[in-house]
Structure 1
């Protein structure tokens, strides 16, 4: 189950059905869906978003830490900004992927970095040896975010999702080297 994680500006928490409209604003958005295809198509409406949230909540209830799906919420005004996840990658479910999906209005900020940093700390606190980020080759913003958080390029692969992607890897020592950056929280906490 996804543990509640709190950073300087964000709360990463379990999704609820009440988040459906805010989630639809993200997962129904064509700009977001562009980066999720073919794994996930745009969510067409509120009914479909509620069904998807029910599925995520049920999967999350069965997941063992550090696996999970989180709703990203801004602390100052409780606005739902998007979602984040730590999930096993197919095929084989051996590699652990860190992912995030924010409303396009927030892409220029550092919320993705802050959420990713919190999830990486959470994973490494649970004795994970390495995390991966799968980035589409034309997604420069995501590639910059993972590099800013200490992830190293591990090559191009078609191992995941049947398409060519850029693979980035993060190990605990890499995260420690990226921690002193002024625009990231020095420490994420659980509550």
Structure 2
């Protein structure tokens, strides 16, 4: 089975506290509640988005090509908490980058770590990937902690262009290979 078929097969994933599922346009209001906050998630949404901007982002970045992108939903109350995704999937090299964000209101409750550990397991066991990377802004300590709690190791710091404002920023690269992975 190729990676795209496997991603389709695992479009709905259940963990202890979460449901990882495809986004739908019905998520528009909850997505806007996350992206339009006065204090948005600075590394994902550098400024609060309007409803129109939020809808555009939801459609073009999360709905248009849904394979490898999951909404993170609280299983108990069906609240949208954030997103986790495989980006820059390279089937030939069997590698991908992982990106995620969690609503600021529920930071520190382990949701991102739970979603990331689940995705890592599937990436190595079902999607047949052999390497995953996470790139964080150098000052995004919370995301770095999530990566490390999930078993990623810090590899290096580098400079690059910010995807939103094109300014040169410092980033940290974390990596996990299938050989590094251990199932708890």
- TM value normalised by structure 1: 0.77
Query: Taking structure 1 as reference, are residues 148 and 163 closer, same or farther at Cα in structure 2, changes over 3 Å only?
Result: same
Where does residue 150 of structure 1 map in the other structure? Answer: 151
Equivalent residues of 2:38, 2:48 under 8 A apart: no
Number of residue equivalences: 166
Name the structure 1 match of 2:131.
Answer: 130
The separation in 1 between residues aligned to 2:177 and 2:153, in whole angstroms, is 9
The answer as to whether partners of 1:151 and 1:169 remain within 8 angstroms in 2 is: yes
More strand by share: 2
Indicate conservation of the 8 Å contact 2:86/2:99, yes or no: yes
Indicate how the Cα distance of structure 1 residues 24 and 72 shifts in structure 2: closer, same or farther if over 3 A, else same: same
Q: Are the aligned partners of 1:32 and 1:101 in contact in 2 as well (CA < 8 Å)?
A: no
Identify unmatched segments of 5+ residues in structure 2.
1-7, 163-167
CA distance in 2, matches of 1:168, 1:14: 26
Contact preservation (8 Å) 2:40, 2:46:
no
User: Do 2:36 and 2:51's aligned partners in 1 also have CA atoms closer than 8 Å?
Assistant: no
Q: Larger relative CO (CA 8 A, sep 6+): 1 or 2?
A: 1
Using the TM superposition, give the Cα deviation of residue 20 of structure 1 relative to its aligned residue in structure 2, in angstroms: 0.7
Measured against aligned partners, the alpha-carbon deviations of 1:90-114 in whole angstroms (never above 9, x if no partner) come to xxx9962111111111111100100
Q: 1:136 to 1:100 in 2, by over 3 A?
A: same
Residues 88 and 104 (structure 1 numbering): CA distance in 2 closer, same or farther, change over 3 Å? same
Is the 1:88–1:94 contact (alpha carbons within 8 Å) kept by the matching residues of 2? Answer: no
State the 1:30 CA deviation.
5.1
2:94–2:130: 8 Å Cα contact kept in structure 1? no
Is contact 1:132–1:167 with CA below 8 Å preserved after alignment? yes
The two structures have a TM-score, normalised by structure 2, of: 0.80
* Aligned-CA RMSD value: 2.3
Q: Secondary structure at the match of 1:174?
A: coil
**Which protein has the bigger helix share?**
1
Structure 1: runs of 5 or more not aligned: 181-191
Q: Secondary structure at the match of 1:33?
A: coil
Give the alignment of 1:1-191 within 5 angstroms.
1=8, 3-29=11-37, 31-36=39-44, 41-42=46-47, 44-55=49-60, 56-60=62-66, 63=67, 68-88=68-88, 96-124=96-124, 125-158=126-159, 161=162, 162-176=168-182, 179-180=183-184
